[in-house]
Amino acid sequence: MVERKLLVLFGSQTGTAQDTAERIGREAKRRHFQCRVEALDSYDVANLINELLVIFVCATTGQGDPPDNMKMFWRFLFRKNLPLGSLCQLDYSVLGLGDSSYPKFNFVAKKLHKRVLQLGGNPLLPVALGDDQHDLGPDAVVDPWLLALWDKILALYPLPPGLEIISPDVRPPPKYTLHYLAEDSLYPNGGLLQPIAPRAVPSELHPFAAQVVSNQRVTAESHFQDVRLIEFDVTGSGIMFSAGDVVMIQPQNCPEDVQQFCQLLHLDPDRRFVLKPTEPDASLPALLPQPCTIRHLVTHYLDISCVPRRSFFELLSYFSTNELEREKLQEFSSAQGQEELYSYCNRPRRTTLEALWDFPHTTCAIPPEYLLDLIPRIRPRAFSIASSTLAHPDRIQILMAVVRYKTQLSKPRRGLCSTWLASLNPEQGDFRVPLWVKKGGMKFPADPDTPVIMIGPGTGVAPFRAAIQERVAQGCRGEEWSWEGLWMSLAADRSVFSIPEEGTGGSGGFGQAQALLCLNGSKLGSGAGKDQSLVYAACVVIHRMCCKAAPWVRTGLCRGSFLALCKWRWVVGLVFACTRSCASALGPSSFPWLSCGSWQEAEAGGGELAALGGSS
């Protein structure tokens, strides 16, 4: 008899694909499959040739890129020397999770499906494409796809004689068992963070604890948006980066929320415990020390501020002893209740902690060993680096907007990472932030004489600040790219404000690279209309720059300039429209890349315009 083994592999950036993969794993165990759920980069891809049944769940990030925990697998799978029939024994199916507002919607899932098929794999179903833009989210595709998938799988691998599918009413076992330690147990460091041997380069598993050396608000107190310029000391870390790279920061929950969570679940925050996996081949969470305290677990690992997913309510329903609460939880976890779940959770951005408050009888009955099944880990946040090592050695600076907004709930919504970072005042203590650096998608030209038009609304200016610091440090101070008078006139109109640089005196930042300027959104209202007005104003600025600097535009753009865009993909069409209007004043030959017609064509054509993308 054929072994009933199923492998579920996921590539996840935000946790949605992982959550879906774990859901498939739970359903597989109800059907008596020996099932493993692993991240694609945690799996030894050389063993894929021996697998018989694999489900791939993968997200698409950025401009059609694979998630970070899938990149090694991706590179291996697309080696040209792999034999075309090497996966002929493999039955597989691919579920993609993406956003149809992006041009390369579910590009990774589509390409993965084609590649496995090319290598001889046997698809059980056509590739399924979940869409965040759907009213019900990806589940609108996932639910019917799963029903069809299990029909196919059970036709190939029937249930063993005498066995039936385990009822959904039976609680699944936890991934880990939690064992409390006696008070007199001897463990180093009191069961907290254990010392880690120095690593050559900090990474997600081994971040560098960087000291916060400054935390400055760069917008006026009266401005609607609190934007911070935060500087970290990375001396001795071995971190190397260049303009366009990204710093990853691991945030933590605030002490007040941690205390509330422990009170709700009747947990002693200072109690120590060790974890043991329930599956023989499973591994422990890499980011949790052993042993650990409840306080450390909740503060640094459990994302109690995230919006809970459907699986949260499904698992929570098993612990409910209150009939009304159990019925509502089961409704939220059913396919029919997804619209109501969206109205309860997603639309108002209700947090996991707030959801637990709404089900008090169930919450107090949650066994501690299910905490890691119930609540996902805190994900690191990415910020474009806003400084250059040439200007600030052993320092990393970021420009960060503090996330705070209103929904139908009375309490304002706050961003976990930005609120935490904004609260770290280096004048009041020694604060350390776990961080590491990874390469960004934005690459600036190596030749410092190459002109660059930089468009970065709001905190999107961050990578350009780093690029300008780098060029200034390299001695690029030519008058040909200086229009101080124009910027001064715009500043007088309150169309722009500058982010001052160190050592520029009272010039407001014009002394170094003619300042970094942001459009003043407070004059333009709020919401989507404000965004469009902001971009329109940016185009007006570009138009006025081009008209006042016609000689530079003609010489600069004709010799191959770069257009760098950070944030707001849809700004590109307006920028092209603006430059077309400029061409009427300067002549079409001043803009040789306009013939490309669109951002996508310019990027694919590789002409005079180099399209650069980034995130902040």
Does 16 count as an annotated binding residue?
Answer: yes
Does 495 count as an annotated binding residue?
Answer: no
Does 270 count as an annotated binding residue?
Answer: no
Q: Give the model's pLDDT for residue 63.
A: 82
**Which of 499, 501, 440 is closest to 472 using CA atoms?**
501
Which CATH architecture group holds 176-207+253-374?
Up-down Bundle (1.20)
Tell me the Ramachandran region of residue 176: left when phi exceeds 0, alpha when psi lies from -120 to 50, beta otherwise. Answer: beta
Number of H helices and E strands in the chain, helices first, is: 19, 22
Q: Give the model's pLDDT for residue 451.
A: 74
Does 17 count as an annotated binding residue?
Answer: yes
Q: Give the model's pLDDT for residue 579.
A: 52
**Which of 105, 172, 469 is closest to 317 using CA atoms?**
172
Q: Give the model's pLDDT for residue 596.
A: 35
Does 384 count as an annotated binding residue?
Answer: yes
Does 135 count as an annotated binding residue?
Answer: no
**Which of 544, 442, 558 is closest to 495 using CA atoms?**
544
Assigned token pair, 204: 């997600």
366: Cβ–Cβ under 8 A, 6 or more apart, which residues? Answer: 265, 316, 319, 374
Say whether 462 sits in a helix, a strand or coil. Answer: helix
Does 222 count as an annotated binding residue?
Answer: no
Residues 171, 165, 32, 113, CA torsion sign: negative
Alpha carbons 454 and 462: distance in angstroms, whole number = 11
Does 60 count as an annotated binding residue?
Answer: yes
SS3 content of the chain, % helix, strand, coil (to 5): 40, 20, 45
Amino acid code (one letter) for 92: Y
Does 177 count as an annotated binding residue?
Answer: no
| Peptide bond just before 291 cis, omega within 30 deg | yes
Q: Give the model's pLDDT for residue 533.
A: 45
Does 12 count as an annotated binding residue?
Answer: yes
Distance of CA 135 to the CA centre of its chain: 21
Cβ pair 563, 443 in contact under 8 A: no
Which CATH architecture group holds 452-612?
3-Layer(aba) Sandwich (3.40)
Q: Which helix (H) or strand (E) holds 219?
A: none
Q: Give the model's pLDDT for residue 447.
A: 79
Say whether 578 sits in a helix, a strand or coil. Answer: helix
Alpha carbons 303 and 268: distance in angstroms, whole number = 18
**Which of 553, 382, 395 is closest to 469 using CA atoms?**
395
Assigned token pair, 261: 């969570």
Q: Which helix (H) or strand (E) holds 550?
A: helix 550-558
Backbone φ, ψ for residue 366 (5° rounding): -70, 120
Does 100 count as an annotated binding residue?
Answer: yes
Does 102 count as an annotated binding residue?
Answer: yes
* Sole residue written with tokens 């990030």: 61
Exposed/middle/buried for residue 27 (C-beta within 10 Å: 0-12, 13-18, 19+): buried
List the domain boundaries for the chain. Answer: 5-156, 176-207+253-374, 452-612
Q: Give the model's pLDDT for residue 219.
A: 87
Q: pTM for the complete prediction?
A: 0.80
CB atoms inside a 10 Å sphere around CB 147: 10
Strands across the sheet containing 272-277: 176-180, 272-277, 292-293
Q: Give the model's pLDDT for residue 537.
A: 47
Q: Pick out the chain residues at pLDDT < 50.
A: 189-198, 479-483, 494-497, 502-538, 549-550, 552-561, 568-574, 577, 581, 585-586, 588-616
Cβ pair 302, 353 in contact under 8 A: no
- 5-156 shares its CATH topology with 452-612: yes
* Sole residue written with tokens 């690191």: 380
Does 59 count as an annotated binding residue?
Answer: yes
Assigned token pair, 29: 């165990």
| 60-98 per-position pLDDT tens digit | 987 889 999 999 999 999 999 999 999 999 999 999 999
Cβ pair 321, 229 in contact under 8 A: no
Q: Give the model's pLDDT for residue 18.
A: 95
Q: Give the model's pLDDT for residue 236.
A: 93
Classify 5-156 by CATH class.
alpha beta
Q: Give the model's pLDDT for residue 489.
A: 60
Does 98 count as an annotated binding residue?
Answer: yes
Does 383 count as an annotated binding residue?
Answer: yes
Cβ pair 577, 412 in contact under 8 A: no
